[in-house]
A and B are shown apart, each in its own frame.
Chain A
Amino acid sequence: MKLSLGPIQYFWAAEVVRDFYRQVATWPVEIVYLGETVCSRRRELKLDDWLEIAGSLSDAGKQVVLSSQTLIESEGDLRHLRRLCEQASRDGGNWLIEANDQSALQLLSEQAAPFVTGPSVNIYNARTLALLHKLGLQRWCLPVELSRHTLEAMQASIAEQVLALETEVFAYGHLPLAWSARCFTARYHDLPKDRCEFVCQRYPEGLMMSSQESQELFVLNGIQTLSGACYDLADQLSLMQQLQVAVVRLSPQICGMDEVVARFDRLRRGQQAPSDQIRLRDLQTCNGYWFGKPGMDRLATDG
């Protein structure tokens, strides 16, 4: 089973991003997703900068995937997307692209380039999977709200149809749950989105939104809303192995990500029992979606 590092959801300064990936080069992850997937206004790193990071990680032996923006709204967004998708061609360097919406699916399938899908592409059943596979899908990520039962049925159908497809599961991190035309971070600062002053860069872990009873509900991250609790399926890796899950995705956080990666690496090698998990940080965790329950729930597992 391979480990992947999802795209950075938050807006980190360019130097922080570069430092982060210098470390990633030495971590035991096989796949790294790169790029800005949330907001078109976050352009500290241009495509060429990302390609430079991609080159270094590729040299370090990682499979690099370039991730597309999730909510495409304008002609400007489409221009950036086209440039990104051109990287999938031979002339563009043959990079694998992660399609995060149907605009990307269109551009990639039109140029007959192979692609992978992120969790925001709604693949809920076998017929959808088979159709996208025909168009060039090589690996898909289970949408976050789907359960292990649905995963199991999907895996059975992949086996039955003998599709050459890898399955990836989002297994650690705050879950990306929604995208909007509105920027909630700018709204909090009472700034118009067009002149947001890039305030989201002040929140490298997003802004916590709680109920009036101080229950942490969601993390506001620009136009994106993430789960308040951190999804953690570390104790489910052996089941994932049984279900032929090829890749386990970990979503980057600014602090302690090296420890998270190390822990998943030990678990997949069977060098650590799920029960001796070190609580790295005082993080509220959840796993409800995996069990077909409300996503925020934390179900006790026997490890």
Chain B
Amino acid sequence: MELVCPAGNLPALKQAVDQGADAVYFGFKDATNARQFIGLNFNEARAREGIEYAHQRGCRVFCAINTYPQPAGWENWAAAVDKAAALGVDALILADIGLLDYAAERHPKIARHLSVQGSATSHEALSFYQRQFGIRRAVLPRVLSITQVEDLARQSPVELEVFAFGSLCIMAEGRCYLSSYLTDESPNTCGACSPAKAVRWQETDQGMESRLNGVLIDRFAEGEKAGYPTLCKGRFRVEDQLYHAIEEPVSLSTLDLLPKLQEIGISAVKIEGRQRSPAYVEKVTRVWRQALDALGHNTLGHDKLGQDTTTTGAMARWQAQLGQLSEGSMTTLGAYHRKWK
């Protein structure tokens, strides 16, 4: 299985490459990719430097152009595809049907990967993209259980990449419009969910308040760790209950599932987090590289009694390391695990 790591900037890209990523993915400095953050992403010169650095070390580079262009922005998105092609990326990660069509026509030799934002959740949906645009690979949404992923993998017409670690999207990606309902930006329109420009923090008598475009997302008591106000991870009221009505602030980690993912034929695991620091990318990549190498040597896993069977006992150490890097210091198997639903 291939390890695909995030590159939010050049230092992060270099860390990922140095720590043994098989591929890295990046986006340009504009609304054409799903991680539009201030100070993040690549201009053309940095991208060229990054691609050269990766290629010299045998690491592939994917370019994410995975938001949905509207008529007013079409030229910019098409230009981003042309730019990535000219830079010599190994694959384009795309979501929009029109843009996939454009890329297939203009740059047929550059592999097309269907982004998680493309929101394909069944093998029939994957067949649609494969027949129409010849996609080579698809990234699966985080809404499927491991059994569903297994069913899908059995019949998939293309290679599959699944999320292994990082932020957990609870909604089917590519069809979540919650962010643009509260603010004027969404993942689809401009690559932003709960955008930082709309966030306000305020110390009040009732505690630290986090707001998104004025809407109170959460309120934290003294000593409580105050998380970023991602709108689906706040505490809200339903009838007389106050709780994390949609999702707790936790991260996804599928370390436990690696042997299963390999067995069912998943081609690549993806680390989320282009918005995270180079130090984070370095640590996460190192752990996952070790885990995948152990998997290759058949030394990763648990026996029937749940005992750690890695010869070095490394599994527990990796779990602990990843736990420290996670949102709320907690990880979950998310939808891969049926009980979570």
> Which A residues form the contact surface with B (CB < 8 A)?
70-75, 77-78, 81, 101-103, 105-107, 109, 120, 122-132, 135, 143-146, 149-150, 153-154, 157, 175, 177-184, 187-188, 192-194, 207-215, 217-218, 220, 225, 227, 289, 292-296
CA distance A107 to B131 in the complex (A): 12
- Chain A min CB distance to B239 (Å): 7
A296 touches B182 (CB 8 A): yes
Which residue of A is nearest B170, CB measured?
A: A180
CA distance A120 to B95 in the complex (A): 14
CA distance A78 to B218 in the complex (A): 39
> Which chain B residues border A105 with CB–CB below 8 Å?
125, 128
- Chain A min CB distance to B81 (Å): 12
B101 touches A131 (CB 8 A): yes
CA distance A213 to B125 in the complex (A): 41
Interface 0/1 of B105-145, CB less than 8 Å to A: 00000000000001111111101110110000000001111
> Which chain B residues border A75 with CB–CB below 8 Å?
151
> Which chain B residues border A220 with CB–CB below 8 Å?
238, 245
> Which chain B residues border A102 with CB–CB below 8 Å?
118-120, 124-125, 128-129
B236 touches A211 (CB 8 A): yes
CA distance A106 to B114 in the complex (A): 15
- Chain B min CB distance to A99 (Å): 10
CA distance A294 to B189 in the complex (A): 12
CB-contact partner of B71 in A144, A157, A194, A210, under 8 A: A157
> Which chain A residues border B184 with CB–CB below 8 Å?
292-294
Whether B97 sits at the interface, judged by CB under 8 Å, is: yes
Closest 8 pairs (CB-CB, A-B): A127-B98, A153-B71, A295-B181, A181-B143, A106-B128, A128-B98, A102-B125, A124-B68
A131 touches B72 (CB 8 A): no
- Chain B min CB distance to A75 (Å): 5
> Which chain A residues border B247 with CB–CB below 8 Å?
182
- Chain B min CB distance to A104 (Å): 8
Whether B180 sits at the interface, judged by CB under 8 Å, is: yes
Contacts A177-B181, A180-B143, A294-B181 given; indicate if A78 touches B122 (C-beta within 8 A): yes
CA distance A41 to B278 in the complex (A): 44
B151 touches A145 (CB 8 A): no
CB-contact partner of B96 in A70, A81, A124, under 8 A: A124
Which residue of A is nearest B74, CB measured?
A: A125
CA distance A175 to B99 in the complex (A): 26
Contacts A102-B129, A178-B171 given; indicate if A294 touches B338 (C-beta within 8 A): no
Number of residues from B at the complex interface, CB < 8 A: 70
> Which chain B residues border A103 with CB–CB below 8 Å?
121-122, 124-125, 128
Chain A to chain B contacts (Cβ below 8 Å), 12 pairs = A102-B125, A122-B97, A124-B96, A125-B69, A131-B98, A145-B181, A178-B172, A187-B245, A192-B339, A194-B338, A214-B237, A227-B181
B236 touches A212 (CB 8 A): yes
- Chain B min CB distance to A79 (Å): 11
A73 touches B148 (CB 8 A): yes
Whether B266 sits at the interface, judged by CB under 8 Å, is: no
B237 touches A178 (CB 8 A): no
CA distance A188 to B239 in the complex (A): 10
Q: Identify which of residues 285-341 in chain B touch chain A, using a CB-to-CB cut-off of 8 Å.
A: 335, 338-341
A211 touches B72 (CB 8 A): no
CB-contact partner of A209 in B71, B74, B188, B237, under 8 A: B237
B237 touches A72 (CB 8 A): no
Interface 0/1 of B63-89, CB less than 8 Å to A: 000001111101000000000000000
Which residue of B is nearest A101, CB measured?
A: B125
CA distance A144 to B179 in the complex (A): 12
CA distance A295 to B188 in the complex (A): 14
A296 touches B181 (CB 8 A): yes
A212 touches B239 (CB 8 A): no
CA distance A193 to B145 in the complex (A): 13
Which residue of B is nearest A71, CB measured?
A: B172
B236 touches A209 (CB 8 A): yes
Whether B178 sits at the interface, judged by CB under 8 Å, is: yes
A77 touches B98 (CB 8 A): no
> Which chain A residues border B335 with CB–CB below 8 Å?
181-182
CB-contact partner of A193 in B183, B215, B246, B341, under 8 A: B341
B119 touches A122 (CB 8 A): yes
> Which chain A residues border B15 with CB–CB below 8 Å?
none
> Which chain A residues border B235 with CB–CB below 8 Å?
212
CA distance A211 to B206 in the complex (A): 14
